[in-house]
Amino acid sequence: MAKTKPMRGRKQSRRGPAARLLPRRALRVPRSGLHEQAATKLRELIVRGDLLPGEPLLEIGMSEALGISRTPLREALKQLATEGLVELRLNRSAVVAPLRREELTELFEAVGGIERCAAELAAIRMTSQDVARLEALQRRIEWHHGRGELRDYFEVNQQIHGAIVGFAQNAVLKAAHEALLPRVERARLFALSARGRWNESVNEHRQILIALEAGDGARAGQLLGRHVRRTGEIVADTLTNGKAAS
C-alpha cells in the first residue's frame, strides 16, 4: 500500500499548547490551508511513484496517514484530479491515475506545443539578463551531463524549461504549463532509464539557446517543441518496454 508515516496524534485543538512562541513560520512558508498542504504531499507521493497507478485512495486511510480529516483531503483530491494525477469515481474511492502510453504521447505533445509557444514569445521578450541566466543554466546542465549526474541533470533540465516559459511573460500560459508538469515529471521518473538520449538532449538544448540568443523565435519554438515531443516518445517507449503501466 505504501502508506506514509502515520503522523496522527492530534485530534482536536489545532494549535499546540505552547504554539506561537517561536517565529510565526520558519522563513516564508506562504501559509496555506491543510488542503493545499495535503495536495502538495499527495502530489509528491504520486509523482515519486510511492503511490502506484491504479492504487485506491481511501479517504479515511489517507486522511489519517496525513493527520487531517476527510474534508481537506477531499478538496486536495479534487485538485489533483484536475491535474490528472488521480481519477475520481462517483461513490467509489479515487484512484491514482494510471499511466497509459497513449496519454503520455498526448501529454508531451501538448507540453511541446505550449513550450514552443512560450519560446516564440520568450525570444521577443527576454532581457539580456534572461539570456545570461539561460546560458548559466546551459553551462550547469552540460557540467552535470559531463559528470553523469542524472539527478542534477533532471533538476536543471526542469529549470531550463521552466525558465523559458517564465521568460514568455504570460501567466496564463505558465499556469497551463505548470498544471501539466507534475504528470511530466511522474512519467520521467517512471522511465528514468532514458540515459541513451542524454547527448542528443543536451545538444538540442544548446541549439535552442542559440536560436533564442539570435532572437529567432520561430526556430527556437520549433526546436523546443520537437525536443519535448521526442523526449515524450522515449519516455513512452521506455514505459511500455519496461514496467507495467497500471
Where does this chain bind DNA (CB under 7 A)? 11-15, 33-35, 56-60, 63, 68-72, 74-75, 88-94
CA distances from 185 to 47, 59, 131, 160, 231 (A): 7, 25, 25, 14, 12
| Binding residue for a second copy, selected from 6, 33, 148, 215, defined by CB under 8 A | 33
Return the range that interacts with a second copy (CB under 8 A); candidates 53-61, 103-111, 140-148, 155-163. 103-111
Q: Rounded to whole angstroms, how far apart are CA atoms 77 and 58?
A: 11
From the list a second copy, DNA, none, pick the one residue 101 interacts with, judged by a Cβ distance below 5 to 8 Å according to partner type.
none
Binding mask 60-99 for a second copy (x = CB under 8 A): -----------x--xx--xx--x-x-----x---------
| Binding residue for a second copy, selected from 51, 68, 110, 123, defined by CB under 8 A | 110
Smaller CB separation from DNA, 24 or 151: 24
Smaller CB separation from DNA, 51 or 104: 51
Provide the edge-to-edge strand list for the sheet that holds 56-57: 56-57, 92-96, 86-89
CA-atom Rg of the chain in angstroms: 20
| Binding residue for a second copy, selected from 7, 60, 124, 175, defined by CB under 8 A | 175
CB of 135 to a second copy, least distance (A): 25
Strands 92-96 and 86-89, sheet pairing? antiparallel
Q: Rounded to whole angstroms, how far apart are CA atoms 137 and 151?
A: 15
Q: Is 220 in the site for a second copy (CB under 8 A)?
A: no
CB of 43 to a second copy, least distance (A): 14
Smaller CB separation from a second copy, 193 or 240: 240
CB of 22 to DNA, least distance (A): 14
Q: Rounded to whole angstroms, how far apart are CA atoms 6 and 1?
A: 13
Q: Is 148 exposed, middle or buried (0-12, 13-18, 19+ CB in 10 A)?
A: exposed
From the list a second copy, DNA, none, pick the one residue 92 interacts with, judged by a Cβ distance below 5 to 8 Å according to partner type.
DNA
- With a CB cutoff of 8 Å and minimum separation 6, the contacts of 62 are 42, 73
Smaller CB separation from a second copy, 2 or 19: 19
Q: Which residues are 89's β-sheet partners?
A: 92
